Amino acid sequence: MSNDSNKKIVTRFAPSPTGFVHVGGIRTALFAYLWARKHNGTFILRIEDTDKEREVEGSIEHIIESLKWLGLDWDEGPDIGGIHAPYIQSQRLDSYKKYAEILIDKNLAYADPYTEKEIEEFRAQADLEKRPFLYREHRPDNPPKWDKTMPLRLKIQEVKTSEWEDLVRGKLTAGPEALDDFILIKSDGYPTYNFAHIIDDLEMGVTHIMRADEFISSTPKFLALYEALGVDRPEMATLPPIMAPGGKKKLGKRDGAKDVLDYRNEGILPEAMINFLALLGWNPGDDREVMTINEILESFDVKKIQHSGAQFNEEKLAWINGEYIKKMSYEEQEAYLLKFIPNDIKSLPHFTNDMLHRITPIIIERISTGLDIEMMAVNGDLDYYFKFPKLSLDVLKKEEKENITTEENIKKVIESLSQINEGDWIRNTIKDALWEYATSVGRGSVLWPMRYALSGCMKSPDPFILAELFGKEGTLTRLNLALETLSHINNNV
Ligand code: GLU
């Protein structure tokens, strides 16, 4: 481990191109990014594609798009190059061979002469004897010369208890059974993750590794390799696992660990996503929850990352997103709405820019994500702004009292509202014009049919807001349509 505290901080995000990046992966990227940026260091993007069987086409582009969406820009990487290029492991095979030769020369690596069948037999024997299978117990006395078709293994020099310091978890230890002669280079010529990442981190000058807890069990092997190479190791920070809602198991694809770009499609804003991810396992030490990246950067400290699992909670993400939407400018809010209002609503008769402009603050007040807007549309909570509602007689009369009919009340509302000047048509004046009467006969029996006549919905903003929004003419037209509904039915009785 390096003692040079003045050394430039270098961190990296090193995803494998095995499909989309989910929140866990991006949280790792974010923490590595934050640590580098906080110290004016370097943040590297490296693609770890040595497991060719698990590779999924298009993943690299997808990873890059995800990081770019979130504004996690890197200083060196496969698309922009850099002084340590290339940044894709499959293009770095010569480096791994070079270090493999160094280890062979030091007599610290050897060719594995066994066939798969022979290894299976060793394993079966160990199972039979109820003890762990350890390759090092079968280490050949005179290994053949490595011809690059056999796996190359590290010769563990000293089988001992491993002890190391993790920046997040403090002192960690593992017994000697964690150490075995592991494969450095596979028979297909590709290095293992265990080998490749160490060489790359070394060559790229990485000072801090942030990664998931699943790598703790392999750390004794990494330490043995650093020792064999005779190099300082980077600092390691193990990030807390992200737990599925409910808290008992790790977040997996089945529990909602979805493609981070899906959130973009749902209207999650990049700054909200960053804010949410930063709080997954870290907090600023006070009760702030809505923080810009600069505020996060100011308070961020690897040493303040928590050990225990971080609870994944999409509702919190939506809440944070809602807070960011409320901070947008009016124009941005309108554009945001427009993006999520479905086309069938956009083609309604009264869909105008003016109406969109007027309803923007009302809708923004009620939503946290684009999904909420889509849901409002599905539930019929949007279209009444852009067309006259279809009314159900029963619903219209739902609050009718015995002493006065709904029809009489609506007539009274029309009469009072007709006297308001266009210029005074705002919610308070509208309310003042009706309040006394409504209170005298029972508010529900007046305000319910009024609100329902305006929206045609069981739930909507209050009738004064709606009336202001539709303007005098639009309001009176809707109220008259309700009257027509009532009289039409009455005439038919
Ligand atoms: N390629 C590894 C993965 O995607 C990265 C592990 C590391 O950061 O060292 O899981």
Q: Could you write out the DSSP letters of every residue in 183-221?
A: EEE-TTSPBPHHHHHHHHHHHTT--EEEEEGGGGGGHHH
Output Rg (C-alpha) for the chain, integer angstroms: 33
Residues 282 and 31: beta-carbon distance below 8 Å: yes
Query: Mutate which of 12, 192, 197 to test ligand 1's pocket (most atoms within 8 Å of Cβ)?
Result: 197
Classify residue 351 as left (phi > 0), alpha (psi -120 to 50) or beta. Answer: beta
CATH placement of domain 393-486 = 1.10.10.350
Nearest to 156 by CA among 223, 242, 240: 223
Query: Mutate which of 11, 16, 20 to test ligand 1's pocket (most atoms within 8 Å of Cβ)?
Result: 16
Per CATH, 92-239 and 393-486 having the same topology is answered: no
pLDDT given for residue 83 in this prediction: 98
C-alpha distances (whole Å) from 424 to each of 175, 407, 420, 428, 431 are: 81, 26, 6, 9, 12
Which ligand 1 atom is at minimum distance from the Cα of 211?
8
Beta-strand relationship, 183-185 and 109-111: unpaired
Tokens 């960690």 found at:
172
Find the 21 Cα to ligand 1 centroid distance in Å.
12
Residue 276 structure tokens: 């949410």
Find the 492 Cα to ligand 1 centroid distance in Å.
74
| Helices and strands, counts by H and E, the chain | 19, 11
Q: Is 148 a catalytic residue?
A: no
Ligand 1 neighbourhood includes 180 CB (under 6 angstroms): no
Q: Structural domain boundaries of the chain? A: 92-239, 328-385, 393-486
Residue 293 structure tokens: 């990246």
Ligand 1 neighbourhood includes 211 CB (under 6 angstroms): yes
Residue 109, beta-bridge partner list: 154
Ligand 1 neighbourhood includes 12 CB (under 6 angstroms): no
Query: Whole-angstrom Cα distance, residue 369 to residue 359?
Result: 16
Please name the residues in contact with 161: beta carbons below 8 A apart, sequence gap of 6 or more. Answer: 173, 174, 175, 176
Please name the residues in contact with 25: beta carbons below 8 A apart, sequence gap of 6 or more. Answer: 15, 260
Residue 13, beta-bridge partner list: 45
Among residues 253, 327, 339, 390, the one annotated as catalytic is: 253
Find the 14 Cα to ligand 1 centroid distance in Å.
5
pLDDT given for residue 489 in this prediction: 57
Query: Whole-angstrom Cα distance, residue 304 to residue 184?
Result: 34
Query: Whole-angstrom Cα distance, residue 277 to residue 302?
Result: 14
pLDDT string in tens for the chain (493-residue length): 544 557 899 999 999 999 888 999 999 999 999 999 999 999 999 999 999 899 999 999 999 999 999 999 999 999 999 999 999 999 999 999 999 999 999 999 999 999 989 999 999 999 999 999 999 999 999 999 999 899 999 999 999 999 999 999 999 999 999 999 999 999 999 999 999 999 999 999 999 999 999 999 999 999 999 999 999 999 999 999 999 988 788 988 777 778 999 999 999 999 999 999 999 999 999 999 999 999 999 999 999 999 999 999 999 999 999 999 999 999 999 999 999 999 999 999 899 999 999 999 999 999 999 999 999 999 999 999 999 999 999 999 999 999 899 999 999 999 999 999 999 999 999 999 999 999 999 999 999 999 999 999 998 999 999 999 999 999 999 999 999 999 875 554 4
Multiple choice CATH, 92-239, 3.40.50.150, 1.10.8.50, 3.40.50.360, 3.40.50.620: 3.40.50.620
Ligand 1 neighbourhood includes 47 CB (under 6 angstroms): no
Residue 181 CA to its chain's centroid (Å): 38
Threshold 0.75, pTM exceeds: yes
Residues 384 and 376: beta-carbon distance below 8 Å: no
